Each structure stands twice: as structure tokens, then as C-alpha cells.
Amino acid sequence: MNFEHDFAGGLLRATSSDAIGTIAINNPGSKNAVTAAMWRALPQAVRILTDEAHAHVIILRGAGADFSAGADIREFDSVRKDAETAVAYEALNSQAFTAIRHCRVPTIAAIRGVCYGGGFGLAAACDLRIAEQGARFSIPAVRLGIAYPSDAVQDIVNALGPQMAKVALFTGAPMSSEKMAAAGFLLEEMEADVFEAEVSALAHAIAANAPIALHSSKLAIRAVIEQDGDLLREAEVIGAETFDSADYAEGRAAFAARRKPHFTGR
């Protein structure tokens, strides 16, 4: 099923093909800075890809040469000018981070160029992260005199580790893709000529598997990370449902026939 939908006046684009959804931050003239309208639209984009396009995996990426320079600072004089407006603005940030973190299908951040500020937070909220060599990472909030959203900090600590997260948040200094790979933030750091192929191969490998089983696995991993017993029990319930699913029957039949299975999420 091929699917396309624009949000925020085309600054955010959701597409899907072969059960692989893509959310493109489409503001390359500003290094894919994220406006308030784009923050607001991100949860809608995630929802439409999972609920209407039936994507089995979602790739989050930037259009052109960069992943994202983060929140569009040019808006701050109006949307983040004081504590009152900042609360409303950061609620949009939080909803976007949560939509990605809690997305029921696996998410992949495909990172090239700059991955700064809120863009870093979006990448950290994804399940997996692959970067092109030469990508640059930074969380410059302290250099602007503001605190980074607390829920995004949790994602960063989980993805980067406590000590490197402290360095990133305390200094605001840029870090290389090599350093981020060594810290475990990146699954892989790829050369430019193989980057797209590797991202596509990973997405196809995930999308080929049974959606209900993927959902259960993702919930179980979240439960471990968040130390959430209720979430673990939810994962167990969904996991038990897989044994009565059409996908389990298809998986067994495909194995017996030595062919690739065709999973439908039922």
C-alpha cells in the first residue's frame, strides 16, 4: 500500500510503501528546524502511518543534507518567550517525543548532517539510530539559557548512557558520529555511499516480520527500560494472543513450505 500525506503546510511529510512508513522533516532551507506546527503534527503523522497506512516500521529522517537542527529558535520570541508560553510549547515537544517513544511499531532514526537540540531528542526517542559518517550531534539548550525537557532527558540517558548524557547536557558541545557510535547511541555509523541501502535493509528486515509479535516485543523492551510492571503484563497478554493469530498460522505454514511468510497483523 502506497500512502502520502503532508502536515504543517508540507514541512512534515508522511509516506508509506511496502509496509515501511517514513516521516520526513521537510524544512531543508532551515536545516530541518522544527516549528511549533511541526511539533504539533508529529503525533498525527505517527498515528496515520500506523492506523491508516498500516506501516510495520517507521523511519524518521530529514529532507536533504541534515536530520534536524532542532526547534526553530526564530519562533521563541513568541511561542517560548516566558514560563507560561514555554509550558504550552514544551507540551507539544513532549507529545511528539511520546508519540515516537510509544509508537506500537519499531522506529528508526536515519541521521545525516546535524542532529541538534530537539532533533537529538526525536532521534533518542526512536528505537534504533543509524548515522552517516560526519553527522554531528549536540544539545545546546544550556547555551541558550534553558533547560531541556525532562521526558526527553530520560530518552537521552537511556540511549546515550548517564555519563555521556551529562556531558551532552552540561556542555552543549558538538559530538561526532564516531563518538556517538562508541557510546552506543548509534546502532551503526555508515559511509555515505551505503547509508541509504543499510537503512532500507534494516527497515525491510523489520517490516517482513509479524506486527503483533513486534508490538509485544517492543512493549516488553519498554517495560524493562521503564521498570513498568503493568507494561510488562500488557506485553505478556499481547504475546499470548500471537498463538491464536493468523500470522502464527502463516509463519508455521511458510516454514513448512520453505517460503517467505506474508504477515498481515491479524
Rounded CA-CA distance 251/242 in Å is 11
Residue 262 lies in a domain: no
Looking at 174, 191, 207, the residue that finishes a domain is: 207
Task: Please indicate, yes or no, whether residues 159 and 236 belong to a single structural domain of this protein.
Answer: no
- Tens digit of pLDDT at every position of the chain (266 positions): 688 999 999 999 999 999 999 999 999 999 999 999 999 999 999 999 999 999 999 999 999 999 999 988 887 777 777 777 778 888 899 999 999 999 999 999 999 999 999 999 999 999 999 999 999 999 998 998 888 888 899 999 999 999 999 999 999 999 999 999 999 999 999 999 999 999 999 999 999 999 999 999 999 999 999 899 998 999 999 989 889 888 888 888 888 898 888 888 88
Task: Please indicate, yes or no, whether residues 15 and 85 belong to a single structural domain of this protein.
Answer: yes
- For every residue of 4-47, DSSP letters joined together read EEEEGGGTEEEEEETTEEEEEE--GGGTTPBPHHHHHHHHHHHH
Task: Please indicate, yes or no, whether residues 224 and 160 belong to a single structural domain of this protein.
Answer: no
Q: Quick check: 138 and 175 in contact, CB under 8 A?
A: yes
- 87: domain CATH number? 3.90.226.10
- The confidence score (pLDDT) of residue 231 equals 87
C-alpha cell at 172: 552543549
Find the helix or strand (DSSP H, E) in which 138 lies: strand 136-138
Task: Please indicate, yes or no, whether residues 198 and 235 belong to a single structural domain of this protein.
Answer: no
Task: Supply the range of the domain harboring residue 246.
Answer: 211-257
Residue 33 lies in a domain: yes
Rounded CA-CA distance 236/228 in Å is 13
In angstroms, the Cα distances linking 85 to 82, 91, 200, 242 are 6, 10, 40, 45
C-alpha cell at 169: 547536557
Task: Please indicate, yes or no, whether residues 202 and 215 belong to a single structural domain of this protein.
Answer: no
Please classify residue 204 by burial: count the beta carbons closer than 10 Å to its beta carbon, then call 0-12 exposed, 13-18 middle and 19+ buried.
Answer: middle
- Give the CA-trace dihedral at 31, 37, 42, 44, to 10 degrees: -150
Q: Quick check: 123 and 67 in contact, CB under 8 A?
A: yes
Residue 263 lies in a domain: no
Residue 75 lies in a domain: yes
Residue 247 lies in a domain: yes
Looking at 207, 222, 247, the residue that finishes a domain is: 207
Rounded CA-CA distance 213/201 in Å is 20
Residue 55 lies in a domain: yes
Task: Please indicate, yes or no, whether residues 125 and 110 belong to a single structural domain of this protein.
Answer: yes
Task: Please indicate, yes or no, whether residues 22 and 141 belong to a single structural domain of this protein.
Answer: yes
Task: Please indicate, yes or no, whether residues 188 and 219 belong to a single structural domain of this protein.
Answer: no
Task: Please indicate, yes or no, whether residues 61 and 193 belong to a single structural domain of this protein.
Answer: yes
Query: Structure pTM?
Result: 0.94
Task: Please indicate, yes or no, whether residues 155 and 45 belong to a single structural domain of this protein.
Answer: yes
- Number of structural domains in the chain: 2
Task: Please indicate, yes or no, whether residues 125 and 253 belong to a single structural domain of this protein.
Answer: no
Residue 265 lies in a domain: no
Residue 266 lies in a domain: no
> What phi and psi, each to the nearest 5 degrees, are found at residue 170?
-80, -30
Task: Please indicate, yes or no, whether residues 238 and 109 belong to a single structural domain of this protein.
Answer: no
Looking at 175, 192, 207, the residue that finishes a domain is: 207
